[in-house]
Amino acid sequence: MTLTITNIKRIHADQSESITIENGKIKGWNLAPEGDTIDGQDATIAPAFLELHAHLREPGQEQKEDLASGLAAAAAGGYGTVVCMPNTSPVIDQPELVRALIAKATGLGQARLRPSAALTRGQQGDQLAELALLREAGAVMFTDDGRTNENARILRLGLEYAASLGLPVSVHAEDATLRAGGVMNEGPVSEALGLPGNPAAAEAARVARDLELCRLTGAHLHIQHLSTARALQLVREAKQAGVNVTCEVCPHHLLLTDESLRGFDTLYKVAPPLRTRADTQALLEGLQDGTVDCIATDHAPHTRAEKELDMLQAPFGIPSIEVAFALMYTHFEAQLGLPKLVDLLTAGAAQVMKWPAPTLDTGAPADLVLLDLHTERTVNPTEFKSKAKFSPWAGERLRGWPVLTVVDGKVAYRRE
């Protein structure tokens, strides 16, 4: 299959160019048009994004999301590759489940799936899963995300075992005993609302412990969805000391604070919780100085009925994979710049996984996205490809929308 995309611009250039794709690879730039032709309409081209933290809910929770809807949503968000989390039903802790997910996703023609697998059996935290078999089946990361790793010895063994296999262990770093029943950030807002709080110390204490295990083992630890200034500072100091740790932040922890919950709106209930403005500023500084390796979404779809429960009963999670880049570009292009934003979603994520950095060079895999950096569009959740058709940003006007996503040389998404 040959495809030529005309009238596009590279990030560092102003002139209009064309790119030709053939058999899943970039054939070259500014060649005579071949095959099907798409007018890029002056969009900016970038490598397709990499998502290291998404909940696609299959198997067992398909009423919330499934591979077809989740990977279509990812492609609509400009993502070419998605690492899904294993906290499904059943838990992805068996090689045959990994193989089945990969096989099903391959036939969908959407974003590419790279499953993570549970670090421990059933994500119960007391016995390691068959990590070598899971890696052989195609798992690219081990994590008990959705649960916290309370047993330090088991996590140590998991880090050592994963290191021997050349894969990272990612963790939801939060002390469950300090979090207790907290449903939002502990502070003046939670006190005013009379809701149980989750203190920043719950994250910082667990990050500190896990960093010590990382230092002890020399293994690669990836810390998910950092939300507090204190935990970020601990990571910064560990990196400066040479500890083999990476970390991610999510758009909602950069944009929203616990003030959003004053209306008791469960759309803003997420784990870890939305923190304070001082925390969001610290996380932005972590992106600017390189402490934060990549942006992830923690895309967490639920049914509307679940999210309409009260603050104590509604599940944690925000579905955001379709709006992530537009949110980041609209709100942070001035502070970070377009090249840095794209890097955090491509090369930064690839470096965490020790994958080759995505490029648009001749001969590279044809995974790319076209971005409309100028047209403002309204966030309309009813148009989401995800089954979770709600958003805390509904009605907001954003720029930077993906208009075309190509994965393995084939069009996975095209905005109407």
- Which amino acids are annotated catalytic? 298
Say how far apart CA 121 and CA 144 lie, in whole Å. Answer: 9
> Taking a C-beta distance cutoff of 8 angstroms, is the pair 158, 142 a contact?
yes
Say how far apart CA 276 and CA 279 lie, in whole Å. Answer: 5
> Taking a C-beta distance cutoff of 8 angstroms, is the pair 221, 168 a contact?
yes
Q: Using the structure block, give the residue that is written with the tokens 């068959």.
A: 130
Say how far apart CA 127 and CA 305 lie, in whole Å. Answer: 35
> Taking a C-beta distance cutoff of 8 angstroms, is the pair 6, 40 a contact?
yes
The secondary structure of the chain, three-state, reads: CEEEEEEEEECCCCCCEEEEEECCEEEEECCCCCCEEEEEEEEEEEECEEEEEECCCCCCCCCCCCHHHHHHHHHHCCEEEEEECCCCCCCCCCHHHHHHHHHHHHCCCCCEEEECECCEHHHCCCCECCHHHHHHHCCCCEECCCCCCCCHHHHHHHHHHHHHHCCCEEECCCCHHHHCCCCEECCHHHHHHCCCEECHHHHHHHHHHHHHHHHHHCCCEEECCCCCHHHHHHHHHHHHCCCCEEEEECHHHHHCCHHHHHHCCHHHCCCCCCCCHHHHHHHHHHHHHCCCCEECCCECCCCHHHHCCCCCCCCCCCCCCCCHHHHHHHHHHHHHCHHHHHHHHCHHHHHHHCCCCCCCCCCCECCEEEEECCCCEECCHHHCCCCCCCCCCCCCEECCEEEEEEECCEEEEECC
**Lookup: tokens for 392:** 């805390």
